[in-house]
Structure 1
Amino acid sequence: MQNPVTTANVSDFAELPATASHGPLRIEYRWVNEAAGNAPVAVFLHEGLGSIAMWRDWPQALCERLGMRGLAYSRPGYGLSTPREHDVKWPVDFMTGQARDILPALLDALGIGTQERKRMWLIGHSDGGSITLLYAALYPDELAGAVAIAPHVFVEDISVDSIAQTKALYETTDLRSKLGRYHADVDSAFYGWNDIWLNPAFREWRIVDELAAIRQPLLAVQGHDDNYGTMAQIDTIAERVPHARLVKLDACGHSPHRDAPDALNEAIAAFISRPR
């Protein structure tokens, strides 16, 4: 079922041609803090049920703090981007495909070339944090650094249990109508995410070994009260990426940009501005 999406700002769209890994895609994107002119770009990668609209005003506020331009986009299946066909299931390695194929193609379509990418920061949350880590590992020379917020690098019981509970809420409460404010096809968005995370084959998914390829500065952030993952996620990142910096936030759940925005913004600003 298609649902109208209302957003405070107007999005633009990029057309990505079909490749061996995906069909033609229409990707919703939006620039924020364009007043920063030729400043470095911060690319925001949303969570598993996120979209441009669900970020609200946080990318703008953070980019103003950093003096950067921001680029937010809705991944295929989310927001106003090309929806997932309802009979299509995301593959176990879907996040690798997003990092390897979709994000580089979007950067190409928007004219963000090699030199600009060398100054680019990726800022990803949850599944978007995992995609951020994968991009940093796959393209270590095509970014200045990365911030992974509540990322997943392997599957924990707490994640699967919470996602199963979210499915029950989606099917029995008003959660579906609430999410429908942020996605043109809310069932496409929800079940694309929910089905893969609850797929028994996905229990074996892990990107731990890939992390060792990350060379650029990396900040990993986790809330102590996150019901979708434990500190083992970012502790594992630190084991594989010795130069990574960890920030563990008190009184903070799975969404630090909503639960503890001041502490998160301070941590990101301090990390990005520190001498290398």
Structure 2
Amino acid sequence: MGDVRTARWREAGGSTRLSAGGVELESYTVGPPPDRAPTLVLLHEGLGCVALWRDFPRSLAEATGCGVLAFSRAGYGASDPCSLPRPLDYMTREAVSVLPEVLDGIGFREGLLIGHSDGASIAAIHCGEVRDPRVRGLVLMAPHFFTEEIGLAAIAKARTAYAEGDLGDRLAKYHVNVDAAFQGWNDAWLDPGFKAWDIRNCLDPICVPVLCLQGEGDQYGTEAQVRVVAERVPARVDIRMIADCRHAPHLEAPDITLDEITEFIARLRAGGALTAGATNVRRIQN
């Protein structure tokens, strides 16, 4: 397995490669390496990759003093390709088989998983099923735990935009194999068998604090997707609903998102400020 622990961790910010799941993955690191500070691991959405985080990794590192790793899953960005069609449990496979290798490959010692959309679901599955004690908290941005008609309709609309509009051209700037990146995500979600997809059970064993961020105008899911976190996670859960924001809080409300994550990490560091079982729901004007 590849090792970016020291020689390949780019503290000033830079690209590297790591091995996980039998393939090579593109990655980006910034901030202190895992042997000097906690690490924030970013898990991208269903059409995301390293580049689509834009300047968010650097902003996180500067605001928190933590190291940050972003990587593209197989089939995305400049990572090695993956086999298609994706299995309908692809998020669970990423969470329990691939992500542990990524964490070990960077010498992960302690830190947080910060996931967006599919990446948030992967982070929650990992925390609930793998229960790695090095993971001290979760930040879930626009997570999915079960299918909703609103989300499936938006995904169907994306298929039309890809086939008939300029979505493919826009995504091609970021993905080496844009057809595989799009179809791997879109075909899985629109498979008739995916309507029964439900990972709510992964929330029950999560014993670390969780911060949920969701736009009030999220076209891919309703507030029920974050409410279920508060209902089932026995640890502290903070929910922040952001006005004038859709599916990507880190891009559409970057200042609010960065402030909320920074404060969440500060509370984790303070230790006693987190009370097990409490839930704090707040609505924020963007």
TM-score by length of 1: 0.89
Contact 1:221 1:248 in 2 (8 A): yes
- Does residue 1:187 correspond to 2:179, yes or no? yes
SS of alignment partner, residue 120 of structure 2: helix
Query: What is the RMSD of the two structures over their aligned residues, measured on CA atoms?
Result: 1.6
Contact 1:36 1:67 in 2 (8 A): no
Q: Say which of 124, 131, 155 aligns to 2:115.
A: 124
Q: Say which of 219, 230, 240 aligns to 1:247.
A: 240
* C-alpha displacement of 1:179: 0.2
Q: Say which of 12, 18, 40 aligns to 2:16.
A: 12
Contact 1:28 1:80 in 2 (8 A): yes
Match of 1:3 in 2: none
* C-alpha displacement of 1:63: 1.8
Match of 2:9 in 1: none
Distance in 2 between the 1:45 and 1:195 partners? 20
Contact 2:113 2:138 in 1 (8 A): yes
Contact 2:33 2:39 in 1 (8 A): no
Residues 172-211 of structure 1, C-alpha deviations (whole Å, 9 max, x = no match)? 1121111001111000100000000000111111111110
Contact 2:14 2:30 in 1 (8 A): no
Distance in 2 between the 1:138 and 1:36 partners? 23
SS of alignment partner, residue 78 of structure 1: coil
Match of 1:173 in 2: 165
Q: How does 1:129-168 map to 2 (within 5 A)?
A: 129-140=120-131, 141-168=133-160
Distance in 2 between the 1:185 and 1:11 partners? 19
Q: How does 1:50-89 map to 2 (within 5 A)?
A: 50-85=48-83, 88-89=84-85
SS of alignment partner, residue 48 of structure 2: coil
SS of alignment partner, residue 11 of structure 1: strand
Code of the residue aligned with 1:132 in structure 2: it is A
SS of alignment partner, residue 151 of structure 1: coil
Contact 1:45 1:129 in 2 (8 A): yes
* C-alpha displacement of 1:54: 0.6
Distance in 1 between the 2:32 and 2:264 partners? 22
Contact 2:34 2:106 in 1 (8 A): no
* C-alpha displacement of 1:15: 2.6
Q: Say which of 12, 28, 31 aligns to 2:29.
A: 31
Q: Structure 1: any 5+ residue segments left out of the alignment?
A: 1-8, 17-21
SS of alignment partner, residue 222 of structure 1: strand
Q: Structure 2: any 5+ residue segments left out of the alignment?
A: 1-12, 272-286
* C-alpha displacement of 1:139: 3.0
Match of 2:278 in 1: none
Code of the residue aligned with 1:138 in structure 2: it is E
User: How many residue pairs end up in the alignment?
Assistant: 255
Match of 2:100 in 1: 104
Match of 1:42 in 2: 40
Distance in 2 between the 1:42 and 1:62 partners? 8
TM-score by length of 2: 0.86
Once structures 1 and 2 are overlaid, which stretch shifts more, 29-38 or 188-197? 29-38
Contact 1:84 1:189 in 2 (8 A): no
